Structure 1
Amino acid sequence: MNGRTNPYGHRMIALIWNPWPPVRARITRVWLLIGLLAIGAGALATAAEPLHPQGKRDIYERVLTRPGAMVAATPGAPGQELIKALSRLYVFARQDSAGQEWLQVGTGIQDQSILGWLPAAQTVPWKQQLTLAFTNQGAGREPMLFLRDWDDLRAILDSSGPGPAAQALRTTVAQGQPDPRVLAVEPANFIDFSKQFYLLPILDFTEYRAITGDKIRALKVASVTLPDPAAASAGTPPPAAPPRNTAAAPLAGTDYRAAVLFVIDSTVSMGPYIAKTKAAIARFYKQIQQAGLGDRVAFGLVAFRAASQDPAKTQDLEFVARTYVNPAQVQGGQDFLTRVRDLDEARISTDHFDEDAYAGLKTALDTPDWKQRFAERHLILITDAGALDGTQRDPTTGQPVQSTTGFNANQIRGIAAEAGTSIAVLHLLTPEARRQNDTERAAAQYQTLSDNALNQQSAYFPIPDGSVAAFGRAIDVYAGRLIENLARATGSPEPKAAPHSSGKTATRPAAAAATPDDDQAARIRAIVDSLGHAARLAYLGQVQGTRAPEVFQAWISDKDFADPSITAVDVRVLLTKDQLSDLQQVLKGIVEAAESDLNADDSSRGFFDRLASVAAKFSVDPAAGGIQKATQLADLGLLGEYLQGLPYKSDVLTLTQDTWTRWGTMRQVEFIDQLKKKIRRYSVYYADQGRWVDLAQRAAVDPAEQVYPIPLTDLP
């Protein structure tokens, strides 16, 4: 997919087309959203609001248009206006004309938005508001096959080797030999969903266990793109996918740049590590100059501590998070050292052993201009302590101690993933951290935090005993490998390797057994290779065009055929601003009721009783009765029909009175805290003006009808 908007309106995915005429003649185009298909609705006159699907009260019926849809003034009349493909429209009425069903459609829920009438055959019902986004192939997976029907996909899954079977089909198509089973192949380059929104709706799905025993979800999807007329007339064959796990994809002649932003704990005891980091970066800049990469690689630094309950102490600590060096502004090694000259460990201790690492990471992710300047962005967290996230309690007050961001590891990881930025963690397992019983809990936090979406691998690197020397070697390997890869990719001279940055060790005979330090270095190099490869695929996806197929529907697997542990697609839920706001308000009501329950004498039943007042406001049908007898939150109708209809397990909707009571106070507090963090995340989405999408595709955009692609994991 390139950066253009095709004549059909939305940005579309450019896939490798398999030109098999009998299939191509039958393929069509489709999509989905919240509205469910109304069954058996009769002919109606113009209504004041759109139709509701059968049995629903909060959901309106919606459709997506097929390519070539023409709106007419009356049912059966000639079309007068071409509607862009995949435009989301509301259905206000149905009527038959000459044996053909027609729909009266509008761009919004007010009757003033009505456009006219469309043949139902030119539309597709949008049953759920789900769309897919491809994961980066830098994770080590092969391009997805779009197969003609479910039987073709099942045949691969039931083969003795799904990976080789799928690869044989890819090879056949790449050689220009049509195969009736394959409609298209996923583009080799990565399309950044956060920058180039595209629709890949789920029309149907089925859970299936392959002959290998692996459980996958088979997805029927739809896509629409336009072929490249020039390429088609010239008979240009589709491009072949590059070899996977390439350490350095060719980038010569491009403006590709990389940056490493260190996020370092600057509290008491961190002085030696701060000094080691400064010295290492000075060496890296010398390598950069040797390789002629002065304008392609940059380093930055953010320091963090933690706020105190004592305002005077907070002032003495100087900051919670501070940017010392913005990689988009630094002018080389000497400039870097000048900017960090005053950085040292804090003069006084913070209130707790754990620090506000998430404040440091969020500050780094929000660094001005670096996202625009650098295509490859690495955050390296350096700390000997766990991260404040509300799971720790102040020993004096007994209250949870939160990060100033209000986020946890999963949410910071999600923010980084949306920004296309990787996170690595150098966790210093110091004797003091062990004395504080902090290492295991902190390790779990940081393994989650560093599980990068770019390559679906964890970049968590523990430093045994907090060894300053081992820490220095890990930094050298990480940054050195990044510089080496970029030099190769851009055709620059090979830099002189920093100590321990290559795979060889001068002080140990080649036949000697590998040490844990060597094993860690090898893993760091592999992670840097895969993260860099993924970033380059994303960059090439922006700067290179890919020949596109025509309209089609097909079946895909949600997992890689060769390695089902690798996910091929992420699910996004498209919510309007009103829906997102309602969801936030519902969760606030749940939180308030839950917190009241914790402080009440009748806590065994109080939570669900207090939710009755929330249900009265947000229930699908408050007059239907039964609210007081509800045994789980789903019975209360709190989250609306659009959330209840999604095919995933909701922690909130499946929560029962008995489960809530059995949890006890600690688990209840944790549940409440997780909901609070989701509420804060929704505020971030709401304010992100650049990613709201107009699905109606009209010149006069109704802001209320725009939608935001919420990751499925962020729903309650």
Structure 2
Amino acid sequence: MTPRRLMLLATASLLPAAALAQRAPRQPLLIPGKTTLFQRVILRPGATLHAQPEAPQARPAAGFSVMHVYARRDGWIEVGREADGRVEGWVREERAIDWRHAMVGAFTNPAGRERAMFLRDAQTLRGLLASPSMTQDAVALRAAAGQPGSPVLALEPETFIDIQRNFYLLPILEAEIVQRRDGTQMRLLEVISAPAELRQAPQQADPARLRDFRGAVVFVIDSTISMQPYIERTREAIRRIVARIGDTAVRDNFRFGMVAYRADISARPQLEYVARVIATPDLSRPPGAILPALDSVRAASVSTEQFDEDAIAGLRLAIDQVDWSAFGGRYVVLITDAGALDATDPKSQTRLGIPEIRALAEARGIALFAIHLLTPEGRANHASARAQYTELTRYGAAGSLYFPVEGGSPAAFDRVVNGLTDALFRQVADTVGRPVGGVAPARTPEAERIAQQVEIVGTAMRLAYLGREGGTTAPDVVRSFTTDRDLRDPTIAALDVRVLLTRNQLSDLSQALTRILDAGLAGRSDPRTFFGQLRAAFAATARDPARLGNLARIGQALGEYLDGLPYQSQVMELTEQEWLAMGAAAQRELINGIEAKLRLYQEFAARPDLWVTLDGRPGGEAFFPVPLDALP
């Protein structure tokens, strides 16, 4: 064979590898000490992109853009929007800010609390949080906002920005937990403000737009054997409001719906259904069109297997099966004389718990109310059900929207359901500027409490509606310091801290929790095997089996994106010694909590409308802003 022939064969044999190398996309740089997390930066306003470092020609880059880092050289960084190898160019290092944790802040609804302040420096905020007169000092700072020399750079917008509907970036660069002398914990946050769609902040929505505000109340009613008197009274409360609307101007602004629920029918088919949509609020039909469907609702003819029923199955139908986008006021009222089946109950249709269904309602902007009938027959169930529904109905500054009916008498229920229905209807009518006569004002302490709480919820709904209509964005500041709690009442959250997880990261987290769950279930007979099961399961799937073979705490088996986040996690820090010292009941509770979180992540993954891109463009990498309290 000639030398020429040998050379040609050698070249040909190298072609597949060379072609493969060319096809393999570049990867961004990893964060030092990490094996899966890429470096990201946020570009400052005024940053310019260059073909090469020091190249004279440049093009402007949109301020607040989030970029991956592909290279660093002599004070320059090479950046690209995605992690797919495509680069945009080089920027000067001083025109970019490192963003190690994909944490963002999400404003809570400002109804019933003070607007968040963004301060110039951490020292001023730290002093404010440590001050015994924090509330009064905050009032003085807020009054001086906008004046020369004021440490306040910006205030939160007056209307509510729903991060699920109008995504904005409020990246958190650093976070620390500050504990006040009274024991209250507040997070001190260093943030950058960056609307996701790079545009000028619009003017606040015209209040005249409130004339198009619409409200819907969906009753989720227990229709088991004991509930017929309450079904009838709920039906009459709806019928009375429909009659009051009549042909008034507000007839196009208010609708009712109903979902009925019972319990598992596998052992008792006579129950007919677990949960059923009776009617949805429909703006294309007159208000009274719902009434024939409501007349069909009857209590079950047989009792359920246990006292608790599948309230969460009913709530999920109300959340998922109603087109809430047509309504600014979104209200769901649970009516029951029993507790809700827990996520761990094999008879639960959804296998979701109270925290998970509440998180799904919050993502849809829905306020949950509960009317709990404290009947003598359910005396042994009252305390556990009260705890469930108090947690279920927490709503910002309004507190818990839980209304117990002592004794459970139909007459007492009548007062509560009518008081709540009237208050919700009044809120919508007053919001659109079309009050309707004949709706009784609150006259009793019970009715006044309902009216006060509904006023806060109604204000929150108005602010959210105006924010959506006006496209309200985060305040236009570059780098500042704020806190996640209300400075007037630190028990109220002003900002929710969330972490942006990609689909792959959420999938990895779900798989890790599945392995932990499997190990926990396999070790029920002998808890001492739990960590051994974990080490074996994770080592078998890890890139670095030796590291996970020496698993000392569960957090080592979860994603690197959870390391260093400012939240306290029983699961992340759990060691083998702590696990063995917990006892069987606590171990079972921890495993049940992991199982509920896993189902919540499955719900997140199944809702594409709640996923966001960092720059608002279609086709970009999608993220889910997961609240810290939804993490394991």
Same fold (TM over 0.5): yes
Equivalent position of 1:685 in the other structure: 604
Please name the residue that 1:557 is paired with.
Answer: 483
Give yes or no for the alignment of 1:588 onto 2:545: no
Q: Hey, what does 2:554 align to over in structure 1? A: 633
Give the one of 442, 451, 454 matched to 1:503. Answer: 442
Cα displacement (A) at 1:631: 3.7
The equivalent residue for 1:445 is 388
Q: Distance in 2 between matches of 1:546 and 1:429?
A: 43
Does the aligned pair in 2 maintain the 1:427–1:462 contact within 8 Å? Answer: yes
What is residue 643 of structure 1 aligned with on the other side?
562
SS at match of 1:63: strand
Q: Which of these residues, 54, 58, 63, is aligned with residue 85 of structure 1?
A: 63
> Pick from 444, 454, 466: which aligns with 2:408?
466
Partner residue in 2 for 1:255: 212
Please list the CA deviations of residues 413-441 of structure 1 after superposition, one character each: whole Å capped at 9, or x if unmatched. Answer: 1111111110110001111101xx21111
Q: What letter corresponds to residue 438 of structure 2 in structure 1?
A: K
CA distance in 1, matches of 2:199, 2:150: 19
Q: What displacement does 1:364 show?
A: 0.5
Contact in 1 for aligned 2:68/2:82 (Cα 8 Å) = yes
1:674 paired residue number: 593
Q: Give the whole-Å Cα distance in 2 for the aligned partners of 1:546 and 1:229.
A: 7
Q: CA deviation at 1:473?
A: 0.4
Aligned with 1:541 (options 447, 467, 470): 467
From the superposition, tell whether residues 250 and 121 of structure 1 become closer, same or farther in structure 2 (CA, over 3 Å): closer
Q: What is the number of equivalent residue pairs in this alignment?
A: 607
C-alpha distance in 1 between matches for 2:177 and 2:57: 41
**Does residue 364 of structure 2 align to residue 419 of structure 1?**
yes
Q: Using the alignment, how far apart are the partners of 1:376 and 1:669 within structure 2?
A: 39
1:709 equivalent in structure 2: 625
Q: Does 1:597 find its partner at 2:523?
A: yes
Contact persistence 1:618–1:638 (CA under 8 A)? no
Q: Aligned partners of 2:297, 2:472: CA distance in 1, in Å?
A: 47
Q: Deviations over 1:13-50 (max 9, x none)?
A: xxxxxxxxxxxxxxxxxxxxxxxxxxxxxxxxx99432
Q: Equivalent residues in 2 for 1:277-296 (5 A)?
A: 277-289=234-246, 292-296=249-253
Distance 1:697 1:257 in 2: 27
Name the amino acid aligned to 1:473: R
TM-score by length of 1: 0.79
* Equivalent residue, structure 2, for 1:194: 164
Give distance in 2, aligned partners of 1:591 and 1:580: 16
- How far apart, CA to CA, are the structure 2 residues paired with 1:528 and 1:696? 36
User: For the residues of structure 2 that align with 1:480 and 1:562, how far apart are their CA atoms?
Assistant: 31
Name the CA shift for 1:475/1:197 in 2 (closer, same or farther; >3 Å): same
Please say if 1:299 is aligned against 2:238.
no
TM-score, with length taken from structure 2: 0.89
Question: Closer, same or farther in 2 for the Cα pair 1:525/1:110, shift >3 Å?
Answer: closer
**How far off is 1:447 after superposition?**
0.6
Report if the CA contact (8 A) 1:102-1:119 is conserved.
yes
* Partners of 1:294 and 1:229 in 2: CA distance: 34
Q: Is the 8 A contact 2:201 2:472 kept in 1?
A: no
Return the letter of the residue paired with 1:633.
Answer: I
> 2:157 is paired with a residue of what secondary structure?
coil
Q: What do the CA deviations read for 1:143-178 (whole angstroms, capped 9, x no partner)?
A: 1111111232244345553333322333344xx644
Per the TM alignment, residue 486 of structure 1 is displaced from its structure 2 partner at its CA by 2.8
Give the AA of the match of 1:460: Y
Superposed, 1:329-340 pairs within 5 Å as 331-332=285-286, 334-340=288-294
The 3 A distance-change label for structure 1 pair 334 and 93 is closer
Distance 1:159 1:291 in 2: 53
**Residue type of the alignment partner of 2:412:** A
Aligned mates of 2:242, 2:160 — CA distance in 1: 30
| Contact persistence 1:87–1:697 (CA under 8 A) | no
Structure 1's 329 and 403: CA in aligned 2 closer, same or farther, altered over 3 A?
farther
CA contact (8 A) 1:136 1:534 kept: yes
Post-superposition shift, 1:110?
4.0
SS across alignment from 1:163? helix
Asked if residue 54 in structure 1 is aligned to residue 32 in structure 2, the reply is yes
> What CA distance in whole angstroms lies between the structure 1 residues aligned with 2:94 and 2:165?
32
Aligned to 1:476: 418
The residue type equivalent to 2:128 in the other structure is I
Kept in 2: contact 1:461–1:520 (CA 8 A): no
Residue 212 of structure 1 and its aligned partner are, at CA, apart by 6.7
| 1:380 has 2:333 as partner | yes
Could you tell me whether the CA contact under 8 Å between 1:89 and 1:696 is conserved in 2? no
Q: Is 1:75 matched with 2:47?
A: no
Q: Once superposed, what is the RMSD of the aligned Cα atoms?
A: 2.7
**Larger helix proportion, structure 1 or 2?**
2
What's the counterpart of residue 320 of structure 1?
Answer: 274
Matching residue of 1:397: none
Matched, 1:115 2:97: no
Q: Which amino acid aligns with 1:106?
A: G
Question: Does 2:192 correspond to 1:222?
Answer: yes
- Shift of residue 456, structure 1, vs aligned partner: 5.1
Superposed, 1:83-162 pairs within 5 Å as: 83-96=61-74, 101-111=75-85, 113-138=86-111, 140-159=112-131, 161-162=133-134
CA change 1:439–1:458 in 2 (3 A) is same
CA offsets per residue over residues 496-550 of structure 1, 9 Å max, x none?
124xxx233xxxxxxxxxxxxx332222111111100110111122234769865
2:528 and 2:482 map into 1 onto residues whose CA distance is 46
- Tell me the CA shift for residue 490 of structure 1: 2.6
CA distance in structure 1 between the aligned counterparts of 2:343 and 2:316, rounded to whole angstroms = 16
Deviations 1:638-679 (CA, angstroms, capped at 9, x unpaired): 102211232222222222223323334443333222212211
CA shift digits 1:108-127 (9 cap, x unpaired): 3343x233322112211111
Aligned-partner SS, 2:218: strand
Per-residue CA deviation, residues 124-149 of structure 1 (Å, 9 max, x unaligned), is: 111111100011111x1111111111
Is 1:183 matched up with 2:128?
Answer: no
User: In the superposition, relative to structure 1, how do residues 493 and 548 fare at CA in structure 2: closer, same or farther (>3 Å)?
Assistant: closer
Q: 1:604 to 1:540 in 2, by over 3 A?
A: closer
Tell me how far 1:710 sits from its aligned partner: 1.0
CA distance 1:680–1:209, shift in 2 (3 Å): closer
Shift, 1:451, TM fit: 0.8
Query: 1:548 & 1:668 partners in 2: Cα distance?
Result: 42
CA contact (8 A) 1:290 1:493 kept: no
Q: 1:522 to 1:551 in 2, by over 3 A?
A: closer
Query: Taking structure 1 as reference, are residues 494 and 250 closer, same or farther at Cα in structure 2, changes over 3 Å only?
Result: farther
Of 430, 450, 469 in structure 2, the residue corresponding to residue 524 of structure 1 is 450
Closer/same/farther in 2, CA of residues 384 and 362 from structure 1, 3 Å limit:
same
Cα distance between partner residues in 2 of 1:102 and 1:709: 30
Residue of 534, 537, 550 corresponding to 1:614: 537
Cα pair 1:619 1:638 within 8 Å, conserved:
no
Give distance in 2, aligned partners of 1:229 and 1:690: 23
CA contact (8 A) 2:374 2:382 kept: yes
Tell me which residue corresponds to 1:510.
Answer: none
SS in 1 for 2:115: coil
In structure 2, relative to structure 1, the CA distance for the partners of 1:546 and 1:259 (3 Å cut) is closer
The match for 1:489 among 427, 431, 434 is 431
Q: Which residue of structure 1 lines up, in the alignment, with residue 7 of structure 2?
A: none
The answer on whether the counterparts of 1:159 and 1:211 sit within 8 Å (CA) in structure 2 is no
**What residue number does 2:229 align with?**
272
1:353-386 deviation digits (Å, cap 9, x = unpaired): 11100000000011232x1221001111000111
Change (3 A) 1:460 1:493: closer
The one-letter amino acid of 1:389's match is D
The gaps in structure 1 that reach 5 residues or longer are: 1-45, 232-238, 242-248, 392-399, 505-517
Change (3 A) 1:154 1:390: closer
Paired letter, 1:429: L
